[in-house]
């Protein structure tokens, strides 16, 4: 398998029409955090604390995904095995953000995708849509990176109130000005507590 990427929580390999993810090691997580936040060099205890939090969060999310029952296509048909996760290979959503007209359509689809996730009882917390989401072979938006999802409605309420999407890397660094303006406008209009109450449905546990 050919390695095609590495995030904070997983190494990513290409395997034909699938991608295979393996958990990053403690050392890899430390290096990535230091790359993102060099000030951790002067805060070794804080760095260690963040590494432990990241690993704990990864374990909890993977366990919840296995415990809950929801539409698997939303997570690119993820299959969780002992030391790896297999998903459908998709095109990162950011690919479609090079053209304003195309980006507008994908943003509208992305918001509808958020509602689909809510109907299944979970939500992404960071809204890094250009790198965490992708488009599958059927042209539908899916979630590629599920390392930071939550099954708690209270977390989603907090994200809506704080306009969490404005703090994401995608919003700050990976959108042209006019695309960012349209995205922000649509998120303000549609990511509301009213819509959360309308669409949210607790994910049932597997028997």
**Whether 133 and 194 share a structural domain:** yes
- DSSP bridge partners of 86: 20, 79
CA-only gyration radius of the chain, Å: 17
Mean residue pLDDT of the chain comes to 95
Percent of the chain with pLDDT over 90: 90
Average pLDDT over residues 128-155: 94
**Whether 186 and 134 share a structural domain:** yes
The parent domain of residue 10 ranges over 2-88
**Model pLDDT for residues 54-96, shown as the tens digit of each residue:** 999 999 999 999 999 889 999 999 999 988 999 999 999 999 9
**Whether 68 and 111 share a structural domain:** no
């Amino acid at each position: 398998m050919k390695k095609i990427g590495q995030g904070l929580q997983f190494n990513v390999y290409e395997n034909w029409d699938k991608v295979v993810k393996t958990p990053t090691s403690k050392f890899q997580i430390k290096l990535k955090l230091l790359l993102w936040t060099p000030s951790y060099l002067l805060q070794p205890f804080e760095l260690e604390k963040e590494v432990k939090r990241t690993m704990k969060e990864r374990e909890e999310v993977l366990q919840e995904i296995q415990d809950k029952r929801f539409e698997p296509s939303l997570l690119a048909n993820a299959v969780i095995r002992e030391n790896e996760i297999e998903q459908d290979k998709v095109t990162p959503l950011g690919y479609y953000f090079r053209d304003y007209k195309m980006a507008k359509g994908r943003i509208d689809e992305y918001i509808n995708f958020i509602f689909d996730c809510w109907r299944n009882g979970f939500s992404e917390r960071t809204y890094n849509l250009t790198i965490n989401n992708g488009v599958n072979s059927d042209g539908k938006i899916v979630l590629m990176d599920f390392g930071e999802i939550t099954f708690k409605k209270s977390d989603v309420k907090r994200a809506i109130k704080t306009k969490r999407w404005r703090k994401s890397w995608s919003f700050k660094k990976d959108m042209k000005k006019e695309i960012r303006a349209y995205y922000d406008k649509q998120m303000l209009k549609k990511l509301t507590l009213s819509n959360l109450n309308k669409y949210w449905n607790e994910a049932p546990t597997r028997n």
